[in-house]
Amino acid sequence: MNVVITGGAGFLGQRLARKLLQRGTLAGPDGVQQAIEKITLLDVVAATDFDDARIEVITGDIADEALLKQTITQETSSVFHLAAVVSGQAEKDFELGMRVNLDAARLVLEACRTAGNVPRVLFTSSVAVYGGELPATVLDTTALNPQSSYGIQKAIGEMLLADYSRKGFVDGRVARLPTISVRPGRPNQAASSFASGIIREPLNGQAAVCPVAGKTRLWLLSPRQAIDSLVAVQDLPAGALGKSRIVNLPGISVSVDDMVAALKKVGGEQAAEHITWQRDPAIERIVGSWPGAWDITRATALGLRADDSFEAIVRAYVEDDLPGPDRRDAPLQNV
């Protein structure tokens, strides 16, 4: 079993690779669990910190057709297409967003088609495919109406994968991700970056700016559950997906005020004092167009699950990612 992860040097890509290495197997094209012999991490920068003979690192342009055809071959059984330009950056740099989020998605599928062995392909999509006037809880039947370039690019990617699957070129599946929180590392250009920043920075004793109103609701999933969900969706037999290749991953619906309350429970009242409220109309417009909750009946029936609470998400960040020195500087409650 050979696996390719695009965006393999990224936050989710590296976590996914480590999960697969630990797991050791993945469902092959025939649905039978197979031993993972190689995982290729493709990204514009090199993935690091892997000391495992099963890891191959390839650095290059994700939208390079020749590179993709060299990476995805007849030996490739499974592809996780995670590479993307984040929402805020895609909105600011239209050409870059189209190249990475749309052109590269088509070229990944083309590489799979020309390889000719019908690999399983998982495409990560986003809450951003929804927008406009939305019900309190988005259903699987709710029409897509993205309000950003990023959302439009993701929606088109979903349809491309559906068509390549219909034609029998790939065994595709789409995992629509909620906003992932709490992400470690530095802030990025995603419109939702604050959803991690207002937790991560205060727990590290650093200042954070919240650009939206406290009543703003977000649909969230922890990194732990996101990775478990991606593997589970890739493992599903095509028959379990029925007529729709798209799965809205389960999450939890919380307001920003709820998030800050959870921060106080874990990090104490002093942690929240690091947050400054400074509303940004551009970010509010993008984030406000996303659903605050969606129906997870189908995802639950497929065996996927959400986090228990946002407090549990914060505690998972503390356990998995909070740096040691900063952790000592920021006393935590009941950890």
> Catalytic site residues?
150
Q: Structural domains in the chain? A: 2-178+220-248 (3.40.50.720)
Q: Which of 139-143, 190-194, 276-280, 330-334 has the highest mean pLDDT?
A: 276-280
Cβ atoms within 10 Å of 136's Cβ, excluding its own: 9
Report residue 234 CA to chain centroid gap: 14
Residue 273 main-chain phi, psi, to 5 deg: -70, -15
Q: Give the rounded percent of residues in the chain with a pLDDT score beyond 70.
A: 96
Please give the Cα distance from 103 to 82 (Å, whole number). Answer: 14
pLDDT in tens, 115-164: 999 999 999 999 899 998 889 899 988 999 999 999 999 999 999 999 99
SS3 3: strand
234 closest CA partner among 116, 79, 14: 79
pTM of structure:
0.91
Q: Would you call the peptide bond into 182 cis, given omega within 30 degrees of 0 as the criterion? A: yes
* Number of C-beta neighbours around residue 260 at 10 A: 19
Pairing of strands 171-177, 120-126: parallel
Q: What is the pLDDT of residue 324?
A: 63
